[in-house]
Structure 1
Amino acid sequence: MPSAVRFGVNYTPSEGWFHHWLDFDLDSVRADLDSIAALGLDHIRVFPLWPYFQPNRTLIRPRAIEQLVQLVDAAAERGLDVNVDGLQGHLSSFDYLPAWTRTWHRRNLFTDPDVLDGQAAYLRTLAAALADRPNFIGMTLGNEVNQFSAGPHPDPDRATSDEIDAWLARMLGACEQGAPGKLHLHAEYDATWYQDDMPFTQGQAARHGAVTAVHSWVFNGTAQRHGRTSVPTEHHAAYLVELSKAWADAPHRPVWLQEVGAPAPLIPAEHAAAFTEATIANALDCPDLWGITWWCSHDVSRDLADFPELEYGLGLLTNDRKPKDTARVLAEAAARARSHASAATSGPHTPAPRTTALTVPADPAVRSLCAPGGPVYDAFFRLTADGVRPTTVLDTRADDKDHLAARGITEVVSPEQVLPTPPGDTSS
């Protein structure tokens, strides 16, 4: 019997944001976790800040590791499982990289042998510290680390796709060494799916690690282009889930919607609950969904300066731990999933297969065709608006009957077959 979809939240501490690791207060953490558990969620994703935990390449602070374990144990007491991100990395517009990789010690994050040794040791240490905790889900290598590898980052650590492939294999191997058999993965922002020169590729996202992770943010041009209540905006998360499946080798590889949120002002506060409800419902219509982890748990305090305006109000809960309407929407969805899963007759709700597949180019050099405004993107949402429930398939697999059958696909269409001919184009 398939397991129920997981519902969780990315944990942003209500006091001190992620700087709370500098003044770790377990009582404050426990109060935060109480407010999360009260929503009926089953997991959190947590973010050690890499420079605070490994300030020198050969120093991984034991006290910081101990505090992470205390947080995971406190979560267990409240029935919450925990995924831990390692290489932080990038969070809410700020970069957190240790001094031994920057300026006078500038070394490439993805290719320098000493940096690779330090990263692997750090990830292995974090994983090993939690390996015996039954509520430890596993490691995510870091938060959207692909943003360091190309523009628009102002000082990127350039690497080839082959070098990224080797980096992913080594870092995931370090997590497995530390905590064998846990759910270890990597996660990038949507440039992996949309940006032609991004060295982190779609194939790597869909083949490395135990599950595929997607991060859905409609400030990427989707909400600007189409509006807050449009089909593309309300189905963007589902689109990324289904787009990722084209590159997976396993026909039913799980996909984790690991980050999704309601960013103001594109999604105004008074509309956030409706957006949340639509996004969750549409994502749940995707087969093989591992879980939905909302960004984020608590608002960023206005006492902290220089965040982009949208970051201050993304929490499901306020700084004084009061739930917003978005929290109630997520809580109700989680309760419905639990109810389905516990029903003796039906078991968890399983969406019907998506039988129509839209072809997408296998070549990562033209992945912008899948980005907002591209023909794949536009065709997917035209089909969605027509009630078709599309998925995607690589153009190189469009005639692979075994692959299509394994995924339940009975019809394959190209974007050209879906979209109208542009004015003045008389080609056949």
Structure 2
Amino acid sequence: MPSAVRFGVNYTPSEGWFHHWLDFDLDSVRADLDSIAAIGLDHIRVFPLWPYFQPNRTLIRPRAVEQLVRLVDAAAERGLDVNVDGLQGHLSSFDYLPAWTRTWHRRNLFTDPDVLDGQATYLRTLAAALADRPNFLGMTLGNEVNQFSAGPHPDPDRAGEDEIDRWLTRMLAACEEGAPGRLHLHAEYDATWYQDDQPFTPAQAARRGAVTAVHSWVFNGTAQRHGRTSVPSEHHAAWLVELSKAWSDEPHRPVWLQEVGAPAPLVPPEHAAAFTAATVANALDCPDLWGITWWCSHDVSRELADFPELEYGLGLLTNDRKPKDTARVLERAAQEAPRTPEPRTTALVVPADPGSRSLCAPGGPVFDAYFRLVADGARPTTVLDVRAADQEHLTARGITEVVAPDQVLPTPQGGTRS
């Protein structure tokens, strides 16, 4: 019996990586999708490369859009639903932005009127092309687009929080215009939750779009600081799921763990399956989890140069489409009977001020307090400091106990707190 939680994978083509759009081979795609369906997953997330699809602001290549539709149809034949990321954007350490936004034509991705018109038209076009496909889940605006908006990007497109809010509102509306009623959302990397000067904020993540998306990577300092088998590393994905709930205006807004992986060498290949099992089990203990989408489907071919070393081995399947132990872990999890996690009744107070987000980052006092609670056997969630005394809000979420970070004492070595 399949799980009530959706299980899927971010689709990385085994031949040509995302450059496969330049030499689109539907037979190769079908073979990839066969290998994904064979491990019992129910959806994929796919990535059109923006410069390949919209090389000029007023040219959206019909053949590229047709190829995307063919990929979605091939997925349907194998029982796979599809989420489509639009503005690619940034993938595996590389930036893919069209020439009409860079160098001699440098224009801000989030504020320039012409760029906004081009982006909205592009997203609307992709959504409309798929609107009648039953297995089309909806659009994600792009992959971790927030990395363009601030440091450490070497050439950021600076924008204020209000400008980003207007950008999100307009782009999500364009997706809805193209494919009404589908699951349209936006997704950022964890700087949204951890970086004080990020203009993409937790409130936007938790209130804009159909679901909240989180991307969990323990190479952000978590595994370096605590080790691969630590409570923080094995519960990091669950932490982001629960952290996101503090900002939601809906008591039970769904949260999608849209990216999570086992990055070497912090998680060596021989330990990847154990890390995967722990991460998935802990995420499944989070109420209101929409789904888990692993990064990624297939390893990057060693014939391709200049990727960071960890990117070559992140696949559930090898480059020749053979399942790894991590694939079997996800397969077993997807086959388990559905269960509904008990409510998380203890809430840790987190700062509502986006300028204090670093307190929630690895090494921050809120982060550390959360994992001290977890290590002591608690199942905490989070609540904003401005809502900590709002009994109506707490009751709607099933919270019966609120604790501040400075109330969570370290556990004595070798024992438990009295």
Q: Which range, TM-score by smaller chain?
A: over 0.9
SS at 1:305's partner residue?
coil
* Contact 2:87/2:141, CA 8 A, preserved across alignment: yes
2:406 corresponds in structure 1 to 416
2:210 corresponds in structure 1 to 210
Deviation readout 1:127-169 (Å, 9 max, x if unpaired): 0000000000000000000000000000000000000000000
Return the offset for 1:419.
3.5
* Equivalent-residue separation in structure 2 for 1:320 and 1:244 (angstroms): 37
Counterpart mapping for 1:3-402 below 5 A? 4-336=4-336, 340=337, 348-402=338-392
* Equivalent-residue separation in structure 1 for 2:94 and 2:390 (angstroms): 44
2:416 corresponds in structure 1 to none
**1:406 and 2:384 equivalent?**
no
Q: List alignment gaps of at least 5 residues for structure 1.
A: 341-347, 422-428
* Equivalent-residue separation in structure 1 for 2:72 and 2:410 (angstroms): 53
Return the offset for 1:202.
0.3
Return the offset for 1:358.
0.1
* Equivalent-residue separation in structure 1 for 2:297 and 2:357 (angstroms): 32
* Equivalent-residue separation in structure 1 for 2:5 and 2:96 (angstroms): 32
> Sequence identity of aligned pairs in percent?
89
* Equivalent-residue separation in structure 2 for 1:106 and 1:188 (angstroms): 23
Return the offset for 1:198.
0.3
* Equivalent-residue separation in structure 2 for 1:221 and 1:419 (angstroms): 22
2:414 corresponds in structure 1 to none
* Equivalent-residue separation in structure 2 for 1:410 and 1:29 (angstroms): 50
SS at 1:367's partner residue?
helix
* Equivalent-residue separation in structure 2 for 1:15 and 1:195 (angstroms): 36
Aligned residues: 409
* Equivalent-residue separation in structure 1 for 2:28 and 2:117 (angstroms): 34
SS at 1:290's partner residue?
strand
* Equivalent-residue separation in structure 1 for 2:85 and 2:410 (angstroms): 44
* Equivalent-residue separation in structure 1 for 2:13 and 2:270 (angstroms): 24
Output the TM-score relative to the length of structure 1: 0.95
1:343 corresponds in structure 2 to none
* Equivalent-residue separation in structure 1 for 2:160 and 2:340 (angstroms): 39
Q: List alignment gaps of at least 5 residues for structure 2.
A: 412-418
* Equivalent-residue separation in structure 2 for 1:300 and 1:151 (angstroms): 27
* Equivalent-residue separation in structure 2 for 1:93 and 1:8 (angstroms): 22
* Equivalent-residue separation in structure 2 for 1:66 and 1:332 (angstroms): 35
Return the offset for 1:420.
4.8
Return the offset for 1:247.
0.1
* Equivalent-residue separation in structure 1 for 2:213 and 2:366 (angstroms): 20
SS at 1:176's partner residue?
helix
Match of 1:25, as an amino acid? Answer: D
* Contact 2:348/2:403, CA 8 A, preserved across alignment: yes
SS at 2:175's partner residue?
helix
Output the TM-score relative to the length of structure 2: 0.97
* Equivalent-residue separation in structure 2 for 1:132 and 1:110 (angstroms): 30
RMSD over aligned CA atoms reads 0.8
* Equivalent-residue separation in structure 2 for 1:290 and 1:260 (angstroms): 14
* Equivalent-residue separation in structure 2 for 1:146 and 1:48 (angstroms): 18
1:345 corresponds in structure 2 to none
Match of 1:125, as an amino acid? Answer: T
Return the offset for 1:303.
0.2
Return the offset for 1:197.
0.2
* Equivalent-residue separation in structure 2 for 1:373 and 1:223 (angstroms): 11
* Equivalent-residue separation in structure 1 for 2:310 and 2:55 (angstroms): 30
* Contact 2:372/2:410, CA 8 A, preserved across alignment: no
Moved over 4 A (4+): none
Match of 1:404, as an amino acid? Answer: L
* Equivalent-residue separation in structure 2 for 1:420 and 1:16 (angstroms): 49
Return the offset for 1:376.
0.7
* Equivalent-residue separation in structure 2 for 1:94 and 1:319 (angstroms): 20
* Equivalent-residue separation in structure 2 for 1:349 and 1:264 (angstroms): 31
Return the offset for 1:232.
0.2
Return the offset for 1:27.
0.1
Match of 2:388, as an amino acid? Answer: A
